[in-house]
A = this chain, B = another copy of it.
Amino acid sequence: MARTTGSNGPKTMEAINKAGLRLIYEHGYEAMSLRHLAAEVGIQVGSLYNHISTKQDLLFGLLRMHMETLLQQLTLALAAVDGAEAQLRAFVAFHVRYHIARKREVFICYSELRSLDPDHYETIVGMRRDYEKRLIGILERGAGEGLFSRDDAPVTAYGILAMLTGVCTWFRPKGRMTADDLVELYTRMVLNAVGGKK
């Protein structure tokens, strides 16, 4: 499949990352064999090692790149707006859209954490915690301003994140609902869920 003969260095690396992402998503890291990956890229198994150092490194590379992009883009998305409510809206919209667009990266970043070496594990989990702290911060600011409920902010955040992240499990772009509809619905649900006034 996808034989990119005559491909040069960078192209091959890119092809490995792309195919690797898909195969890990579909079969899981443990279940994906490098044989399979190489076949998908259109090279010999041994040739993979001109581009990656180990199978583990391939996984780590994918997850780290994902987390870096995620954090970067979130920063951009939140920089644009002021006020706790607007920021919560922006967070929900960004998170949902990003998770729909990159459902495979997101999925393996959760499901394959346990396949990481201890060091790599710590790195990724640390980045994830940074991400969560952004939402927690918004909730706390909102609660401080009397906009949101004063419930435990981390636990509230975990609930919201789980709910929003769930979309990459079931959302289908051609389903009953558009991404816009979904963002609107989930924004309303989240605002209601944390709504202090009432």
Contacts and interface: CB of A to CB of B under 8 A. Distances in A.
A113 B176 CA distance: 24
Copies in the complex: 4
A54 interface: no
Contact of A152 (B31, B115, B166, B185): B185
Contacts of A115: 28, 31
Given A31-B115, A159-B163, A163-B163, A189 B194 contact: yes
28 contacts: A28-B28, A28-B115, A30-B31, A31-B114, A31-B115, A111-B111, A151-B189, A152-B176, A152-B177, A155-B177, A155-B185, A156-B185, A158-B167, A159-B164, A159-B166, A159-B185, A159-B186, A160-B163, A161-B166, A162-B164, A162-B166, A162-B167, A163-B163, A163-B166, A190-B193, A192-B192, A192-B194, A193-B193
Given A28-B28, A151-B188, A159-B164, 12 more contacts: A27-B114, A30-B31, A155-B176, A155-B185, A159-B189, A162-B162, A162-B163, A162-B164, A162-B165, A163-B166, A190-B193, A198-B198
Interface of A: 26-28, 30-31, 111, 114-115, 151-152, 155-156, 158-167, 169-170, 176-177, 182, 185-186, 188-190, 192-195, 198
